[in-house]
Structure 1
Amino acid sequence: MTSLPGQNPAPSPRPAPAGPDTPAAGRTGRRLKPWHGLWLLLMLGWTVSAADRSVTGPVVTWMIDNGVGFMAHADNPHALGGLIGGLFFAGYMLTQFPGGYLGDRYGHRTLIVVSLLWAGVTTVLTGFLGGLVAFIVVRVVTGLGEGAFYSNDRTLITRLTPERDRSLGMGVVITGLAFGITIATVFTPDFIGFGRDFLDGDEAWRMAFWVLGAATLVVATAATWYFRAHLSARTVGRAALHLGGYAAVSLTLVMAVYFVGDATGLSDLWIAVLEVALAVGLVLYALRRKGEELGPVLKNRDLFLIYLVNIAILWNLWFFSFWSVSIVTGATHSSFTSGALTAGFNAGAGLLGFPAGGWLSDHGVRRGLGRREMMLAFTAAQAVLTVAFAWYLSAADHPSLWTMGVLLFTASLFFNALQPVGHALTADLARPDLRGSAFGMENLIGETGAVLSPAVGGVLRDSTGSWNAAVWLDAAVVVAGLAVLSFVRGPRPGAAVPAPAAPAD
């Protein structure tokens, strides 16, 4: 049972019985290990939460192509669509650090359950709302709830998986991100087609949110059952209310920036920039309030550089996740379904890249190769292939669906492989009792890229008439991330990792 905040866990009179989340010590044999079940559950959590956040891009693309919904009369539809995606991630980024901080306080399992339940309810609700402002509000609220998942998921894996399998675990679990993005990218046309059987044609997009939201609630129920020995209704309720307090303030600030920017005639891009400035201001405020407590999280040179690298990682991830269908259909003049299937190569590469990168990271560390060096190699390969994709898109008179699919797949393969390596590197660098806060800060700063990339990409598409400039900018951001990563020193290969403090959950 999770101890209440402010209390130290009571000593146990006898060893706790083995359970699904018992740490690895003492477990041997060829059977599936306890942490494997944890990996599977968290992978399912990543799958549904990633699908919930990714479905907005294909739905917006379908609205633009068919001239329906609140996109029907937009003067700059891609810019507006990008802003919608950016506002979601503005909410998502603002609960990254609070989510990790509350996980360190209330228990990481507790925050994972709260996040999944929150995301499921708000995604279903999205399908019932109409109008641009209502859609934006509920998408921001969804992001605010989902923002608590990442830091607690990464911390729980670090705590309950043997160090020798840490990267593999992170890679296997985050494969759910690839599953979710692939499902949202490839199957949104089918969800919309299914919706036409029950709804007016212009309203068929709602079915995508209902299907994915229901799936999220199923996974949330499974997580509640799996973690039942570590949960209490009182602690879950208090954690939800505490997160809700952060979310209410964040929603007010995000929407205030949107309304003020819209009323004063600012462009969609400048509104997105102001949302990023809001997040930076909140980080500085948190540092001022809790400077002594957060010093090891923000003032560690290598950790801070990793946070900056994460901006490039999340820029690339959500630029392609949001706009890949539109990029492919615009370049090849193919159908929405064909574009979605080809764009699915970008997301699908994670099914191989995430676990392969995690395994290679652990395998290399056991043989004296540092995670930093592996992350550099994977990022360099991704940079070369991303530049190749940008060049092909610009140079080819009639781009081939197959060629675009191959380039997207190979670039994404290395891109996905580098992420679990980076997550394990963050865990190695962070103080054990502040890992939740470190992962939260990493994603908070990194989500700057996720807020800006859909909006910047949409503005460049509307202003230039093609996706070439936006894709070249993405390539430049990836190269910049590689340059910053080269300055990370990282722990020495084989260096001992400090023993974890007493678990919060």
Structure 2
Amino acid sequence: MQPQTTDTGSSGPVTGGERRGWQPYHTLWAVLLGGWLFSYADRAITGPVVTWLINNDIGLIGGSSHPHALGGLIGSLFFAGYMLTQYPGGYLGDRYGHRAMLAISLVWAGVTTVLTGLITGLIVFVALRVLTGLGEGVFYSNDRTLIAKHSPPGKVSLGMGVVITGLSLGLTIATIGAPYLLDWGVDSFGKEDGWRMPFLVLGGATLLFGFVMVPYLRRLGGPLKAGGPTLRLLGISALFCAAVMAVYLVADSAGLPTWGVAVAETVLALLLVGVIFARRGGQAGAIVRNRDAMLLSIAAVAILWNLWFFSFWSVSIVADAAHSSFAQAALVATFNAGAGVLGFPAGGLLSDWAKTRGWGRRPMLVWFTLIQGVLVLAFGAYLQMAGKPSLVVMSVMLFTASLFFNALQPMAHALVAEVVEEHQRGAAFGMWNLIGEIGAVISPALGGALFDAYGTWVGAIYIDGGLMIASAVIYLYVREQRTAPLAPA
């Protein structure tokens, strides 16, 4: 048994008398924001590439009899892998150090994304997307934990909101850059292999950023000691990847519908993580027995469902509804992704503001979630009733709904940090994302299957909005600890 390690450094919490200007924790926020940007660009590029393959009838996916269902399944399998390492990633971070896990995750994402652009064959393509998800799955829980530890108490939610702005930037870069990268790929490799260029470019950029991030993390708290956790993560990932691919191949050969394969992968993920809980019963059991942590985790299913339904299919939703070009649809879809640049930090700032006044974070979280669900339902109703939806109206509706959606996320993250003990935060954030990823695993495949069956995205959009409203109801039962108002940092 190796001793538990912790991260220390000069960016520790500031409790009072903080000087004005740039602070060490601001540097931490900026570096972690970059990590989110590159890792999310790597994962989000799959959706636009799949849409391009379908529109151009490219053999990798476009030749399928149900291309949207197959494309959505690929996205779902990525998140099956991503889901599986949520809790192990948090546990390994609590044990070996959160900085080491962040470095491993980013380098891993860069390597597997580059390899995705080099391979040939659908099965290998799917396997590499699963492996990318397994590596990126450890980023979230360790990132949230470092922010909670190294930020002033009155700025924890703000820090989480600022950092996760990288998610929105990564989605925007992947969405708006896809047409140009694909055109470059066609010019360089030919039409059949043009899809490779986005993976090569974004994977290479992630590796370059990793070379910048790793030295900073060393300066933050000393040597990373990444050997032990890397070997542990490789062993876990080899097992999980084999299990995910086995379920995919067996279910596909049995003729199971794509949404059924996604459900089967979700069940597999929960069973495998259940084994981990049985072996690591102490800390995992403490999180499972924490009523408020589990309610927040269950409510996260709607958050991850919404995030990856729209992130994966937004270009296709716009293109199919308005009969627009791929480039026009990508531009409109960026309004959904880009709203996070404002929404994430604004939500964090509002959450901390409410907390400092003794109101708590939960009331604002409930209202923002409810409003977002209603706005999604309104977007679906507009698509259903409009003969030919306006690109301008769709842009405004996507931006508004996404603004509330992105703002509510740092509110939920800060609540997770506050309902558990400090030494349990890595495991708690891992649990939150683990359960929440059920939504990310099912929504791309189910959305694609519904479109292939009915020729419209409206039904899938209504399901999305309904889940967000149900999430708002769950938040009502979270017992937030009401303490004296925090002094502004």
Q: Shorter-chain-normalised TM-score: which range?
A: over 0.9
Structure 2 residue identity aligned to 1:469: G
Report the secondary structure of 1:181's partner residue. helix
d(CA) in 1 for partners of 2:117, 2:281: 41
Identify the residue that residue 130 of structure 2 maps to in structure 1. 140
Structure 1 residue identity aligned to 2:274: L
d(CA) in 2 for partners of 1:404, 1:177: 22
Q: CA RMSD in A?
A: 1.7
Identify the residue that residue 402 of structure 2 maps to in structure 1. 412
| 2:371 counterpart (375, 381, 399) | 381
Structure 1 residues 354-365: aligned runs within 5 Å? 354-365=344-355
Structure 2 residue identity aligned to 1:34: P
| 1:184 counterpart (174, 179, 193) | 174
d(CA) in 2 for partners of 1:119, 1:288: 29
d(CA) in 2 for partners of 1:310, 1:8: 29
| 1:440 counterpart (430, 440, 445) | 430
Structure 1 residues 161-172: aligned runs within 5 Å? 161-172=151-162
d(CA) in 2 for partners of 1:241, 1:283: 19
Report the secondary structure of 1:455's partner residue. helix
Deviation at 1:289, TM superposition (A): 2.0
Larger mean Cα displacement after TM superposition, 282-291 or 456-465: 282-291
Q: 1:329 and 2:319 equivalent?
A: yes
| CA distances 1:377-419 after superposition (whole Å, capped 9, x unpaired) | 1111101211110110111111000101100000000000000
Deviation at 1:69, TM superposition (A): 3.2
Identify the residue that residue 476 of structure 1 maps to in structure 2. 466
Q: 1:232 and 2:249 equivalent?
A: no
Q: 1:88 and 2:83 equivalent?
A: no
d(CA) in 2 for partners of 1:186, 1:33: 33
> Structure 1, unaligned stretches of length 5 or more?
11-15, 497-505
Identify the residue that residue 219 of structure 1 maps to in structure 2. 209
Structure 2 residue identity aligned to 1:6: P
d(CA) in 2 for partners of 1:184, 1:107: 30
Identify the residue that residue 59 of structure 1 maps to in structure 2. 49
d(CA) in 2 for partners of 1:89, 1:9: 29
The verdict on how the C-alpha distance between 1:68 and 1:244 changes in structure 2, with shifts beyond 3 A counting, is same
Identify the residue that residue 283 of structure 2 maps to in structure 1. 293
8 Å CA contact retained: 2:299, 2:436: yes
Report the secondary structure of 2:60's partner residue. helix
Identify the residue that residue 142 of structure 2 maps to in structure 1. 152
Deviation at 1:279, TM superposition (A): 1.4
Deviation at 1:245, TM superposition (A): 1.0
TM-score, normalised with respect to structure 2: 0.96
Structure 2 residue identity aligned to 1:56: T
Larger mean Cα displacement after TM superposition, 222-231 or 425-434: 222-231
Identify the residue that residue 503 of structure 1 maps to in structure 2. none
Larger mean Cα displacement after TM superposition, 25-34 or 106-115: 25-34
Identify the residue that residue 342 of structure 1 maps to in structure 2. 332
TM-score, normalised with respect to structure 1: 0.93
Deviation at 1:315, TM superposition (A): 0.1
Structure 1 residue identity aligned to 2:116: T
| 1:196 counterpart (169, 182, 186) | 186
Deviation at 1:147, TM superposition (A): 0.3
d(CA) in 1 for partners of 2:174, 2:59: 19
Identify the residue that residue 242 of structure 1 maps to in structure 2. 232
Report the secondary structure of 2:188's partner residue. coil
Deviation at 1:78, TM superposition (A): 0.4
8 Å CA contact retained: 1:365, 1:494: no
Deviation at 1:27, TM superposition (A): 6.3
Report the secondary structure of 1:70's partner residue. coil
Q: 1:30 and 2:20 equivalent?
A: yes
Deviation at 1:231, TM superposition (A): 4.9
| CA distances 1:43-76 after superposition (whole Å, capped 9, x unpaired) | 0000000111100000000000000031132010
| CA distances 1:328-370 after superposition (whole Å, capped 9, x unpaired) | 0000000000000001100000000000000011111111111
| 2:3 counterpart (2, 6, 25) | 6
| 1:284 counterpart (258, 274, 280) | 274
The verdict on how the C-alpha distance between 1:365 and 1:121 changes in structure 2, with shifts beyond 3 A counting, is same
Aligned residue-pair number: 486
Identical-pair percentage: 53
Deviation at 1:31, TM superposition (A): 2.2
Larger mean Cα displacement after TM superposition, 329-338 or 65-74: 65-74
Report the secondary structure of 1:191's partner residue. helix
Structure 2 residue identity aligned to 1:39: W
Deviation at 1:8, TM superposition (A): 6.8
d(CA) in 2 for partners of 1:6, 1:278: 31
d(CA) in 1 for partners of 2:307, 2:203: 22
Larger mean Cα displacement after TM superposition, 272-281 or 146-155: 272-281
Report the secondary structure of 2:187's partner residue. coil
Deviation at 1:7, TM superposition (A): 5.7
8 Å CA contact retained: 1:91, 1:147: yes
d(CA) in 1 for partners of 2:217, 2:274: 35
